Amino acid sequence: MSEEGKIKVLLVDDQPLLRMGFRLILEGEEDLEIVGEASDGAEAVRTVDAARPDVVLMDIRMPILDGIEATRRITESGSPARVIILTTFDLDEYAFSGLQAGASAFLLKDVAPAELVQAVRLVASGDAVVAPRVTQRLLETYVRGHRTPAQPAPDPLLAELTRRETEVLETIAAGLSNAEIAQKFFLSEATVKTHVRRILSKLQLRDRVQAVVYAYETGLVVPSNPDY
């Protein structure tokens, strides 16, 4: 974050009007600061290195280097920047690629302004966001498409979790926020955040999106509708 404690945001889209729209929405918030813009993935990677944003709003289809590959390069560089992928295409393949590349969130471009602002704040704080109307289909289809054995082999790392941490992981996989998890288990949000940090550390995961996929892939959470 900046010296003033603001969340630094980088806007990446090949359409200037869309960047302008996102800028107008986000600059109206006192805790958000636009630190740069990029019109293609290659420029985005360079700008992340120079501007050191906390959150990157990343388009998918762009010239020179697309948003998925740009996200992968940013993630693999070790940058702490978290990427929110924005797309007009409500298609699983884009979301799958984004998850694999290390994105922390996936939203559609028609997201309401208030939801976009909230998503930036959540991702900056370590929470992850997936567009609600695609969450279940995205995760369940992802798991079916990438799981090879009929029954997933248990991961020994799961045994490292306490009972409460396992319960928290299950609620993360269900898409609950820290506030919702706190309410469900009658805990403080600070306690929930501590549980989440320990879960990610024990399972050697980067963020909550990876935790959700992990929960499905290991069979901790089972897709509810196999014929979807």
For residue 80, CA distances in Å to 39, 107, 121, 159 come to 21, 20, 15, 28
What predicted TM-score, i.e. pTM, was given to this entire model? Answer: 0.74
pLDDT in tens, 89-140: 665 567 677 777 888 888 888 888 998 998 899 888 876 666 655 555 666 6
Average pLDDT over residues 190-200: 92
Residue identified by tokens 């995205």 is: 138
Task: Look at 186 and 137; give whichever has higher pLDDT.
Answer: 186
Is residue 52 in a domain?
yes
Using a 10 angstrom Cβ sphere, with 0-12 exposed, 13-18 middle and 19 or more buried, the burial of residue 213 is: buried
Task: Kindly report the CATH number assigned to the domain that includes residue 200.
Answer: 1.10.10.10
The tally of domains found in the chain comes to: 2
pLDDT at 148: 47
Tokens representing 6 are 């603001």
Asked whether residue 159 falls in the same domain as residue 117, the answer is: no
- The predicted-structure confidence for 201-223, as pLDDT tens digits, reads as follows 999 887 777 787 788 778 787 76
E-strand stretches of 20-128: 32-38, 55-59, 82-87, 105-108
Structure tokens at 157: 């790392």
Q: Are 22 and 57 spatial neighbours (Cβ–Cβ below 8 Å)?
A: yes
**Structural contact between residues 10 and 53, judged by C-beta atoms closer than 8 angstroms:** yes
For residue 179, give its domain range: 147-217
Q: Which tens digits make up the pLDDT trace of 154-170?
A: 677 888 899 999 999 98
Instruction: Quote the percentage of the chain above a pLDDT of 90.
Output: 43
Do 134 and 203 share a domain, yes or no?
Answer: no
